Amino acid sequence: MSIEGLSKISIYEPVSKTVAQFNQVRAEGQLNISPAEADADADGSIPYGGDISELEAVIYDLGAAEDQVKAWMQANTPVAAVGLGLQVNFLWQDTARFRIIRPNFFASGQRRRATITANREGGIHKIDHRMNLLSRDDLLETPSANVKRLIFPVEGATLTLSRDFSGADANVTLRALDSAGVELASAAGSAADPRTVAALTLPAATWHVEADLGQAGGQPALRSDGVGEYVGE
């Protein structure tokens, strides 16, 4: 799938919680998720053989982040990634060995760039592209009732949390937490018709994004396009 409007990519090492963020990214990236090939059954039907996930993105801001990803590549360190899109974001939570490659060209006027790729095969992957970052439960942590957390270490990303309410409880809170769980910033949404909305721009050192929904239900949505409407994908 093509991810339109891709603007930022963060590659992170989940043990040390080190992040390499790229802020100059080609607007169109590719994340393809497909079933692996398997031998056909006796009736000719083809069983599910696990997922195949492939990522490719082009980055232009070469420097410390590139050096970090290259160091992980050379050490064969498995890492994960998230990507901020105009409407669709990608979440690559299963670790893999990412590669970063510079093309060999010397033409004048060519913009310096590198390509990031990753591949993973087998099993059910915690890898997806989402408009609503709260719409797939196995990608989320649930530290308490009606609170959901997502690893999303993307400084400068603006996210919008919304949900429907009925009755007196009409509050949602969106928080940015660092890797130790300390709150860095927050935004609260008050009653609105028909949905309650909170928007937050993530500060430096953000690791988790935490959505406090106040109560169960209400079709919660966490989006990057500034829209406070529910989508299920």
- The pTM of the full predicted model, rounded to 2 decimals, is 0.92
Same domain, 152 and 170: yes
Same domain, 95 and 190: no
Averaged pLDDT, 23-50: 85
In a domain, 230, yes or no: no
Question: For residues 136 and 155, what is the distance between their CA atoms, to the nearest angstrom?
Answer: 23
In a domain, 232, yes or no: no
CATH number at residue 7: 2.30.110
Closest CA to 132 of 4, 218, 227: 227
Same domain, 99 and 198: no
Condensed to tens digits (0 to 9), the pLDDT of residues 126-155 reads: 999 999 999 999 999 999 989 999 999 999
| Domain termination site, one of 87, 110, 130 | 130
Same domain, 22 and 82: yes
Same domain, 38 and 152: no
| Domain termination site, one of 111, 130, 149 | 130
Phi and psi at residue 73, to the nearest 5°: -60, -45
- Indicate the number of domains in the chain: 2
Interstrand relation of 208-212 and 147-151 (parallel, antiparallel or unpaired): antiparallel
Same domain, 76 and 179: no
CATH number at residue 199: 2.60.40
Contact 158, 224 (CB under 8 A): yes
Grouping H, G, I as helix, E, B as strand and the rest as coil, residue 73 is helix
Same domain, 92 and 44: yes
Question: How confident is the model at residue 9, as a pLDDT?
Answer: 97
Same domain, 100 and 169: no
Same domain, 175 and 80: no
Can you point out the beta strands (E) in the chain? 2-3, 8-13, 18-22, 29-35, 51-59, 79-84, 89-96, 99-101, 114-121, 127-130, 141-144, 147-151, 158-164, 172-177, 183-189, 195-201, 208-212, 221-223
- Start-to-end C-alpha separation, the chain: 14
Q: Give the bridge partners for 185, in sequence order.
A: 176
Question: How confident is the model at residue 79, as a pLDDT?
Answer: 98
Q: Which residue has the higher pLDDT, 109 or 50?
A: 50
Q: Given a cut of 70, is residue 166 above it in pLDDT?
A: no
pLDDT bin (cut points 50, 70, 90) of residue 110 is low
| Pure H helices in the chain | 64-74
The boundaries of the domain holding residue 44 are 2-130
Question: For residues 52 and 50, what is the distance between their CA atoms, to the nearest angstrom?
Answer: 7
CA angle 78, 84, 90 (to 5 degrees): 55
The most confident of the ranges 38-47, 49-58, 97-106 is: 49-58
Q: Give the bridge partners for 150, in sequence order.
A: 209
Question: How confident is the model at residue 169, as a pLDDT?
Answer: 59
In a domain, 82, yes or no: yes
Averaged pLDDT, 62-77: 96
pLDDT bin (cut points 50, 70, 90) of residue 44 is confident
Cis upstream peptide for 47 (omega within 30°): no
How far from 143 is each of 136, 146, 181, 182, 208, CA to CA, in Å? 16, 9, 11, 14, 12
Condensed to tens digits (0 to 9), the pLDDT of residues 189-208 reads: 866 556 788 999 999 999 99
In a domain, 228, yes or no: no
Same domain, 22 and 110: yes
Same domain, 69 and 107: yes
Question: For residues 208 and 10, what is the distance between their CA atoms, to the nearest angstrom?
Answer: 13
| Domain termination site, one of 130, 158, 184 | 130
Same domain, 200 and 150: yes
Quote the percentage of the chain above a pLDDT of 70: 92
In a domain, 104, yes or no: yes
In a domain, 168, yes or no: yes
